[in-house]
Amino acid sequence: MAEVIRMPLLSDTMTEGVIAEWHKKVGDTVKSDDVIAEVETDKATMEVMGYVEGTLLYIGVEKGKAAKVNEIIAIVGKPGEDYKALLEGGAPAPAASNGKADATPAPKAEAPKADAPAQQPAAANGDVAAAAAAALKDATVIRMPLLSDTMTEGKIVAWNKKVGDTVKSDDVLAEVETDKATMEVIGYADGTLLYIGVKEGDAAKVNGIIAIVGKKGTNVDAILAAEGTGGAPAATAAESQPAATGGSAPATPAAQEAPAATANKDGRVKASPLAKKLAEEKGIDISQVPGSGDGGRIVKKDVDGFVPSAKPAATTAPAAAKGGAPAFVPAGQEGYTDTPLSQMRKVIARRLSESKFTAPHFYLKIDVIMDKAMEARKTINEISPVKVSFNDMVIKASAMALRQHPFVNSSWMGDFIRQNHHIHIGSAVAIDEGLIVPVIRFADQKSLSQIAGEAKDLYDKAKNKKLQPQEFSGNTFSISNLGMLGIDEFTAIINPPDSAILAVGNIKETVVSEKGQFKVVNIMKLTMSCDHRIVDGAVGARFLATLKGFLENPVTMLV
């Protein structure tokens, strides 16, 4: 039956995500490993997988719009299936957008009613779905969040709550170890912890149920049955709750043992592993940090907000001195400034992420002796109406080389390759908000002075934010020059829809050997990033050889 896909937690500081792109539309077939959307977080643009199979029935957040963590963004199920009950069940509580009342998907097979013996006939799908929907009005399902872009599962390091504990929406329920770090999981739900589905030390797949929070007496079995896990997990949930059965069930979730691990016995400090690790990294005495967690337990936010007082610092320094080196006392305190993303920065993040993770980049490097180019530029500027820069010479040489190697002047269009007959060179410019790429159109047909004059006008417009769309679009090849900033060489990310970008370093005096004699020459390093879907290594190498010939002997550009 239909399954809900929610906005995942993609970073430890994320509260909402913006849908940068939908890769599927309503009616499309979805596989469990399909990327259904790209989400822009506070740190990066990342891919979202649904981990379900079926047909995309519903999209809840338009491209460019934001959704809170755990908010429903899509529903996948069978063609024509009625999914409205999931939307109604998914947002019954005031903080639904923060993950309240997870509308858990209905099962694909029949399951026993929560309050019926296992020997009774299986309930119809509609009864199971109805029971689950009723239970979800009073409960929130907590799932294993996606905490990194490469995470497929997370291991529960510690539970900070046990079954029966009261939970607040901002409580840290558990600490999860991912492939990159140990991070805290917040449930975004108020109520009682009714069920723990993963023991400490065990792993759960992304989007798997790890806990359920809600009103006491909520039919947890119905929710688990609707999830399609069968009777065994439901029995575990029943055993996890006092008075659920009359017997003394020994199989209690490991979370109930959590207090033993964190209790303040033998003088030990009650603190989460993540909090201890952060305190050690920051040089903070964990025993001095007041805890705000359950029973005074110290959690991550306590360490983040802790400011050492002057008194402990004064007393610890002499003590450390007895052992040798004095203790380090930081001057001031940690801090940061959050700057809202500009639309330009959002576009840069989206487009370059798409390019880097979609186009298979490879890199070609070449050294160019610029002695003759330097002499030619000096002569040109004596008669040119505008000052010609080395970058202008690279633009002209690149445009002429593209004329001889048209495959480098191509674009990847998904189902076909477009070989452009015109040559428009984009030249990257750094401004306060990021990078923008003004375009010199028909660069191969223009003289050096025409390129220099047009480039100067475009750069001035870019810095004054007066560029028109037609002046920063339509590029067929791009150049990024950091030579004027003293960078010897670097690699650049391809600027879509180009098939390549040229990274230009500075001109540097270098000692070389020629016929047994040493001499000093001026060398400029060029690195071309190529999209291997279009440009093969030999094609790129021949292009760079032609470009090198033009720059090392500029008079050939005039022929």
Active-site hit among 23, 115, 285, 532: 532
Q: How far apart are CA 549 and CA 400, in angstroms?
A: 11
Residue 59 main-chain phi, psi, to 5 deg: -120, 120
CA 441 to chain centroid, in Å, comes to: 35
DSSP for 208-269 reads -EEEEEESTT--HHHHHHHHT--HHHHHHHHHHSTTSSSS------GGGGHHHHHS--TT--
Q: State the virtual CA torsion across 452, 453, 458, 460 in degrees, nearest 10.
A: 100
Q: How far apart are CA 358 and CA 418, in angstroms?
A: 17
Q: How far apart are CA 368 and CA 551, in angstroms?
A: 7
Tokens of 90: 């998914």
Kindly report the number of other CB atoms within 10 A of residue 131's CB atom.
21
How would you classify the pairing of strands 477-481 and 425-427? Answer: parallel
**Cβ 317 vs Cβ 301: under 8 Å:** no
- Residue 221, phi-psi category: left (phi > 0), alpha (psi -120 to 50), beta (remainder): alpha
Q: How far apart are CA 393 and CA 380, in angstroms?
A: 11
Please name which of 42, 303, 297, 11 lies closest in space to residue 172, comparing C-alpha atoms.
297
Q: How far apart are CA 157 and CA 200, in angstroms?
A: 6
Active-site hit among 202, 371, 460, 536: 536
Look up 532 and say whether it is catalytic: yes
The structure tokens 């040229």 sit at: 502
**Cβ 396 vs Cβ 377: under 8 Å:** no
* Amino acid code (one letter) for 116: A
> Hey, which residues does 410 pair with through a beta bridge?
419
* Amino acid code (one letter) for 205: K
Q: State the virtual CA torsion across 270, 275, 280, 284 in degrees, nearest 10.
A: -80
* Residues belonging to the active site: 532, 536
